[in-house]
């Protein structure tokens, strides 16, 4: 009988203990959810912000479709901005500009590399595209391209080759290197030639995003078609402007 009493007592203590633990568990779950929500709200107020597209979402039709532009700018680029703000919050990178950070990229966290690169690269990408692309540069930039690559056509071939041979996700670039020379190069993921981890360093003046998210809805697996059509949406005035800025 005494044994049974002890057993009952233990069972009651165990039950009380179990019940007492329940609110604690639920409270933790609630706190986690609240925390996630707070982080998301805070992202919007971070030091980096998504800029507006310099043209409408359908302006690059029929070469780049409206839906791709909406998702690419509004979802993908926004996510890079949010994740970047999250990654630098409370660190000494929070008040540095991206180009400064890229110089010592190898010493910083991967999240800053991926999302900082993502923010910078896409900002350039939107800027160097536009409707009514004339398909060819002029003036000093054309001269420099012809001097370096023999002709505009052979520059196009080299640039397309860089875009097509970049395995998986990444970018192809036209850059001005430290000697002021134009070079074609490519980088994986969201890296770019401003980063100390790049094979070839320099200032990008033109770039093409060859991640599948940039073309898959319209072109599916046909990256060559997307790359060939890219020439129809390049704003060469913007590229020439970038080139002039580097030379100053
Ligand atoms: Mn992209």
pLDDT in tens, 197-246: 999 999 999 999 999 999 999 999 999 999 999 999 999 999 999 999 99
CA of 211 from ligand 1 middle (Å) equals 6
Q: State the residue range of the domain holding 175.
A: 65-248
138 CA from centroid of ligand 1 (Å): 28
* Distance in Å, CA 178 to ligand 1 centroid: 27
Residues with CB under 5 A from ligand 1 (ion): 209, 211, 214
Rounded distance, CA 154 to CA 151, Å? 5
Min mean pLDDT across 30-34, 79-83, 116-120 is at 30-34
Tell whether 244 is covered by a domain. yes
* Bond prior to 175 in cis (omega within 30° of 0): no
Taking the mean position of all CA atoms in its chain, how far away is CA 137? 26
Cα 59 to middle of ligand 1, angstroms = 17
pTM, whole model, 2 decimals?
A: 0.81
Ligand 1 centroid–CA 125 distance in Å is 9
With pLDDT > 90 as the criterion, what percentage of the chain qualifies?
78
Domain for residue 14, yes or no?
A: no
Is residue 24 in a domain?
no
CA of residue 80 to ligand 1 center, whole Å: 10
pLDDT per residue as tens digits for the range 129-185: 999 886 899 999 999 999 999 999 999 999 999 999 999 999 999 999 999 999 999
Q: How many domains does the chain have?
A: 1
First to last CA, the chain: 96
Q: What is the CATH number of the domain that holds 207?
A: 3.55.40.20
| Domain assignment present for 42 | no
67 CA to centre of ligand 1 in angstroms: 13
CA separation for the pair 53, 126 (Å, rounded): 7
Q: What is the pLDDT of residue 228?
A: 97
């Amino acid at each position: 009988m005494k044994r049974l009493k002890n057993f009952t007592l233990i069972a009651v203590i165990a039950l009380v203990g179990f019940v007492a633990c329940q609110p604690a568990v639920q409270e933790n779950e609630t706190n986690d959810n609240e925390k996630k929500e707070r982080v998301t709200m805070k992202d919007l107020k971070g030091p980096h912000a998504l800029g507006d597209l310099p043209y409408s979402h359908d302006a690059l039709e029929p070469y780049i479709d409206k839906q791709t532009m909406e998702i690419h700018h509004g979802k993908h680029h926004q996510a890079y901005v949010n994740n970047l703000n999250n990654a630098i919050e409370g660190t000494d990178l929070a008040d540095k500009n991206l180009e400064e950070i890229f110089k010592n990229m190898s010493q910083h966290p991967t999240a800053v590399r991926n999302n900082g690169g993502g923010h910078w690269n896409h900002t350039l990408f939107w800027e160097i595209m536009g409707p009514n692309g004339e398909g060819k540069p002029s003036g000093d930039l054309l001269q420099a391209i012809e001097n370096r690559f023999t002709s505009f056509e052979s520059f196009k071939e080299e640039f397309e080759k860089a875009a097509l041979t970049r395995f998986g996700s990444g970018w192809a670039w036209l850059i001005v290197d430290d000697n002021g020379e134009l070079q074609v190069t490519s980088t994986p993921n969201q890296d770019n030639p401003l980063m100390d981890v790049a094979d070839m360093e320099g200032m990008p003046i033109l770039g093409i995003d060859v991640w599948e998210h940039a073309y898959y809805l319209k072109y599916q697996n046909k990256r060559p078609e997307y790359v060939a059509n890219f020439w129809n949406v390049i704003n060469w005035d913007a590229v020439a402007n970038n080139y002039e800025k580097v030379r100053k």
